[in-house]
Amino acid sequence: MNRNDLRRVDMNLLVIFEALMFEKNLTRVAEKLFMGQPAVSAALGRLRDLFDDPLLLRNGRGMEPTPRALAILKELQPAMDTISGAVSRAKDFDPSTSCAVFRIGLSDDAEFGLFPPLLSQLREEAPGIVVVVRRANYLLMSSLLASGEITVGVSYTTELPANAKRKKLRDIPCKVLRGDDGVEPLTLDAYCARPHAMVSFSGDLSGNIDLDLARIGRARRVVLAVPQFSGLRALLAGTQIIATVPDYAACALTEGTTLRAEDPPFAIDAAELSMVWSGVHDNDPAERWLRARIAEHMAQAV
């Protein structure tokens, strides 16, 4: 196929193809691209004709890409990233008049403890924009970036897509959150003897805190795991249960409540909170503005 033949290819089909490869579900693609399911089904039929391959095959209740489809995706993604970046860089960005939609992935601690002042600043500078926040953590961040469901994320991160970029925002020092009426700081013995609550994205009952305790030959007893930090405010008040949380989450949780935060009675290795983004958006003026505001409000003061 030469360049003139490309005129016969609908670029919208390629966007739908990419979404289908990640979602493997017609309904989810329709919701993601704001299309009707019959339109997505028709587009899949045209894609099958274009590539002369079934592309997606039924596998139980789901659908799986064919080997040919995966090979096509591997070839198309870099080209689509390049096109998207070229179009984005050609646009000027004026926050005061923009109606852009920004899609941000935030871990629960960042959303609860750091996002509110950021949102206020974004709304002040760019009252016409729309901000979509997706719940993200180190398990989800890579796939959300790779699929284009978010363009930037803030979380503790591990593995990322090859074209992703990362910037450290801050360390994540911890505080012990308590809602009892005691006045003395907790000793290590008291800390280990108390019942503990933890925020667990996956339902696990242990985490990095337990590894730090194990290094000094100690352990704690987790009696409660909740999926988000906001729930701790009511659950800890007036009880003996304690929780070890990032310092910025502790600040938000204690504000206007009877809860209080204190330093842990042992050394905790601080994790890093990072901002990550897709390399294709590295020079996008709107995304650069957003990342600058995120760094301004979520980075550690130096």
Q: Are residues 45 and 22 in the same domain?
A: yes
Looking at the fold, whether 168 and 276 belong to one and the same domain comes out as: yes
For 34-45, what is the mean pLDDT? 88
* Statement: residue 134 has pLDDT above 70: yes
Q: Phi and psi for 43 in degrees, rounded to 5?
A: -65, -40
Residue 151 sits in the same domain as residue 278: yes
Domain carrying residue 72: 5-89
Report the mean per-residue pLDDT for the chain: 88
What pLDDT, in 10s, does the model give residues 231-264?
Answer: 899 999 999 999 999 999 999 999 988 899 999 9
CATH label of the domain that carries residue 33: 1.10.10.10
15/51 same-domain check:
yes
Work out how many domains the chain is built from and give that number. 3
Model confidence over 159-179: pLDDT tens digits? 777 778 899 999 999 999 999
Residue where a domain stops, chosen among 89, 108, 131: 89
Same domain, 257 and 280: no
Answer yes or no: is pLDDT of 12 > 60: yes
Kindly report, residue by residue over 193-216, the tens digit of the pLDDT.
999 999 988 778 888 899 999 999
Q: What percent of the chain has pLDDT over 90?
A: 54
Averaged pLDDT, 129-139 = 90
pLDDT exceeds cutoff 60 at 302: no
Residue 30 confidence class, pLDDT cut points 50, 70, 90: confident
Does residue 258 sit in the same domain as residue 276? Answer: no
Same domain? 180 vs 262:
yes
Do 191 and 243 lie in one domain? The reply is yes
User: Which has the minimum average pLDDT: 84-98, 130-144, 284-298?
Assistant: 84-98
Q: Which of 89, 107, 139 is the last residue of a domain?
A: 89
**What pLDDT score does 301 carry?**
58
**Domain closes at, from 57, 72, 89:** 89
For residues 168 and 178, state if they share a domain.
no
The pLDDT assigned to 265 comes to 96
Whether residues 134 and 117 fall in one domain: yes
Mean pLDDT over 141-158 rounds to 88
Give me the percent of the chain exceeding a pLDDT of 70: 94
Residue 158 has pLDDT above 60, yes or no: yes
Residues 155 and 281 in one domain: yes
The pLDDT score that the predictor gives to residue 31 is 82
pLDDT at residue 251, rounded to an integer: 93
183 and 111, same structural domain?
no
Q: Determine the pLDDT at residue 219.
A: 96
Q: Which CATH number belongs to the domain containing residue 147 in this structure?
A: 3.40.190.10
